[in-house]
Structure 1
Amino acid sequence: MRRSGRPIRASFRATLAGCGALALWAFLALLSRRAAGVPPLALTALGFAVGGLLGLAVVAGRRGGLARLRQPPLAWAHGVGGLFGYHALYFAALALAPPVEANLVNYAWPLLVVLFSAPVLGMPLGPRRLAGAALGALGCGVLIGPGVAGEGGAAPALGFLCAAGAALVWALYSVTARRLAAVPTEAVAGFCLATAALAGLAHLAVEPPLPPLGAGQWLAVLLLGAGPLGAAFFLWDVGMKRGDPRLLGTLAYATPVASTLLLVAAGEGAFTWRVAAAVARVAGGGGRAASARG
């Protein structure tokens, strides 16, 4: 009895770690607003550099130290490809298509995480999990649905393609992380630094020079690097490798809702019936998925 309970408790703790990542990502929009004026790729480079350096400092103080960064090429391709590939596609989508519609397409990734758990990991889904994921998707759709009509005509198809690609990349990165469970989470520090370097090169190639930043912008960059673009990826790695990706995929729908509530609390928006309906549906979907067995 005691022996069988240990893996369950470990999985529960890992799933909680993944929930911590979702909570940190809820601050991404608010902190990005506070860093307004910083070009997207430059913001990505700065944020990942802060997150990578903080992670590196922690790794250096642990047993095994920097040796944990020595991983096979497949691990680096997976880590850097997932982190940089997702953010490059996501920011391209926001630049090419109306942001609300692009964000709607991007938030197909939680549903894809749930669905990919079956064929990629061989994990059963069941009606409760599928119903929970569908209810969460409906809640997310209610929240950002008013902008679907867009402004100024049809959105460029390339932008929507980039958003769909971003959702696919992040879902595959998340689910396949379990196949690389032997890669220690500490290696994420190296993946973050490599992502920062690639984003920095892309910034120099396609964006205007970085303007002088104010104290508020630098604070936002530091907080982004410490949380949504730093610690969140370490927590998500733990959750995907040792937790329940099906439940985390469903609970991920709470992120855009929580993000909107934070923006409202900061005076960046209003609490409307759509927000209330989205909160109710996402909470209901998460509860339904969490109550599923197996």
Structure 2
Amino acid sequence: MQANLYALGAIALWASLAALGVSLTHVPPFLLTGIALIIGSIPAWPFVLRAPTQWRVPLRTLALGVYGLFAYHFLLFIALRHAPAVEANLVNYLWPLFIVVLSPWVLPGVRLRLPHLLAALLGFGGAAIAIVGGHELSGTLAWGYLPALAAAFIWATYSLLTKRVPAFPTTAIGLFGLVSGVLSLLCHALLEPAVTLQARDWLLLAVLGLGPLGGAFFLWDKALKLGDPRQIGILSYITPLASTALLMAVSGRSFSASIVLATVMIIGAAVMGMRAR
């Protein structure tokens, strides 16, 4: 139960990502991610100053952290630039399904039972309805779907592999974010035009960094350390639903029947996943 609460905390923070992103669309994505990830690492700094050994992790553990935080966002931004946004986001949200399906392959002693698989598929169906909503999907094939699929695979495997590397303190997530943020800023310098940020931009970036691109990663790590990745993966389908609902509330749009249907499907999937043993 405690693990699920940590997961729900991460999901609640990730739900604000779209709403914050709408207010920061003028900021180049790698600059946005780099600044936010560095800010997101700040909560770990006081712990590291008191006990520097908390950031002394094996090189392969650091590589896994950068693989998860930097490579995921790098590929997702490439996907959003070269494929329709709604469809790319839908492909990206295969990651909870990947967590459920890949658990037996990555984690010893974990079995995939039929209720887990059915719940994951039901959750993905609900997520698809929440993401697509009233949009008409483009029938065009875009190579940007490949990096979106790779991003989903990376986040799922990162989440599972954190249970396979030597145990590390959750404060090490701050190191992963700091290194990934610096790499993102290098990508900005190489690939994006320079921009001048206003005071409001810095305030929103601070909220973004301390929330969905910072605090959420710490909560996610605690959830994975304590819980069943199959159940956590199914719960993760709440993320696109909550994100869409919050975006609609902020923009003043009324809730549609598709959101109600998606809610029923995702809650049903979560209940099914919780009952599965």
CA contact (8 A) 1:45 1:197 kept: yes
Structure 1 residue 124 corresponds to structure 2 residue 111: yes
Query: Deviation of residue 181 (structure 1)?
Result: 5.2
Under a length normalisation based on structure 1, what TM-score does the superposition of the two structures give?
0.89
Aligned equivalents of 1:80, 1:223: Cα separation in 2? 22
Structure 1 residue 32 corresponds to structure 2 residue 21: yes
Query: Deviation of residue 59 (structure 1)?
Result: 3.7
Aligned equivalents of 2:95, 2:253: Cα separation in 1? 25
> In the TM superposition, what whole-angstrom CA distance separates every residue of 1:212-243 from its partner, at most 9, and x where no partner exists?
3242x222111111111111111111111221
CA contact (8 A) 2:131 2:244 kept: no
Aligned to 2:101: 115
Unaligned runs of 5+ in 1: 1-11
- SS state at 2:171 partner: helix
Aligned equivalents of 1:268, 1:56: Cα separation in 2? 38
**Corresponding letter in the other structure for 1:224:** L
- SS state at 1:179 partner: coil
Aligned to 1:68: 54
> In the TM superposition, what whole-angstrom CA distance separates every residue of 1:156-198 from its partner, at most 9, and x where no partner exists?
22x0000000001000000111112511111111111001100
Distance 1:207 1:270, change over 3 A: farther
CA contact (8 A) 1:18 1:243 kept: no
Distance 1:270 1:179, change over 3 A: same
Give the one of 55, 80, 86 matched to 1:100. 86
Structure 1 residue 263 corresponds to structure 2 residue 247: yes
Distance 1:268 1:59, change over 3 A: farther
**Corresponding letter in the other structure for 1:89:** L
- SS state at 2:163 partner: helix
Deviates more, 1:49-58 or 1:280-289: 49-58
Query: Deviation of residue 148 (structure 1)?
Result: 5.7
Aligned residue pairs, count: 275
Query: Deviation of residue 144 (structure 1)?
Result: 2.6
Under a length normalisation based on structure 2, what TM-score does the superposition of the two structures give?
0.95
Structure 1 residue 203 corresponds to structure 2 residue 188: yes
Aligned equivalents of 1:195, 1:269: Cα separation in 2? 35
CA contact (8 A) 2:103 2:110 kept: yes
Unaligned runs of 5+ in 2: none
CA contact (8 A) 1:178 1:242 kept: no
Structure 1 residue ranges (4+ consecutive) displaced by more than 6 angstroms after TM superposition: none
CA contact (8 A) 1:51 1:225 kept: yes
